[in-house]
Amino acid sequence: MLKTLQDDFRIIFERDPAARNWLEVLFCYPGLQALVFHRLAHGLYVLGLPFIPRLISHIARFLTGIEIHPGAVIGKGVFIDHGMGVVIGETAILGDFCLIYQGVTLGGTGKESGKRHPTLGENVVVGAGAKVLGNIQLGNNVRIGAGSVVLRDVPSNCTVVGVPGRVVYRSGVRIEPLEHGSLPDSEAQVIRMLVDRIELLEQQVQTLQQQSSADPNQLEAALKLEYSPDSNRFMFGEQTTDIDGEYSVLAATHCRLKDRTIQEFLDGAGI
């Protein structure tokens, strides 16, 4: 237990640039204090001692604003940053070196008995205000964006954002634990693609109006929408009309239901 507490202490200096000295960390970091109380309460809980573990947990909640059920299993090197409003349920399991921000809930979704809280792998980061609910599994090196609500299993080395949480794969890209600004906005990407598609359809209607008196064969050629894999663009024949009325090659990104971005967006939500 002493070795685990030492890891809890050291990880703060690695992950919090505001940590100045050991005295400040020991007395002014509620996340560390809550873990000290919890490890004591958990030891007594495992021994089957009634009431006292819950009382210690309640005292820790009063002093730190962090509620950890004594039955929760927490690995070494876990850092609860700030921590106000953090709730960790009875059957939750946290792997080594997890990073938990303020307002996070690792909770259940009902009144069922048994394992009903999430299991986090190693080196998982849960952003501020995120909710991870139910008996679900989060793999190693998972990143949960601030304010996300996660209700389904998440594979290792993935990022989850949104409500409900959607999985966004970041293959080959290393995300540092504190770089929450680098989280992708999958909803914005899909909306951008749909807007581009609407613009294409509007331009097609405009071309139809301009060519309404033209030869039918010319009209069919003018309105033919083709996708070029080489340029990753849609084109009307050889050229098309842009919003300003000038003829140019359309530079909008193609948007179909089979597109990878849209498919991952839907798959991440379990749709």
Q: Which of 190, 105, 92 is nearest to 144 (CA)?
A: 105
Q: How many CA atoms lie within 13 A of 127 on its CB side?
A: 21
Backbone Cα Rg of the chain: 26
CA 132 – CA 10 distance, rounded (Å): 26
Query: Which two three-digit tokens encode residue 200?
Result: 């294409």
Query: What 3-state class would DSSP assign to 69?
Result: coil
pLDDT tens digits along 230-268:
544 445 444 444 434 443 444 444 445 456 666 666 665
Residue 29: pLDDT band with limits 50, 70, 90: confident
CA 177 – CA 235 distance, rounded (Å): 42
Indicate yes or no: pTM above 0.75.
Answer: no
Query: Which two three-digit tokens encode residue 174?
Result: 């290393």
Q: What does the pLDDT average to over 6-22? A: 81
Is the C-alpha dihedral spanning 103, 109, 110, 114 positive or negative?
A: negative
pLDDT tens digits along 74-125:
998 899 988 899 999 999 999 999 999 999 999 988 777 788 999 999 999 9
All residues at 6 or more sequence positions from 126 whose CB lies less than 8 Å from its CB, including other chains: 98, 99, 100, 101, 104, 106, 120, 132, 144
All residues at 6 or more sequence positions from 155 whose CB lies less than 8 Å from its CB, including other chains: 139, 142, 167
How many angstroms separate the Cα of 181 from the Cα of each of 69, 103, 192?
31, 18, 20
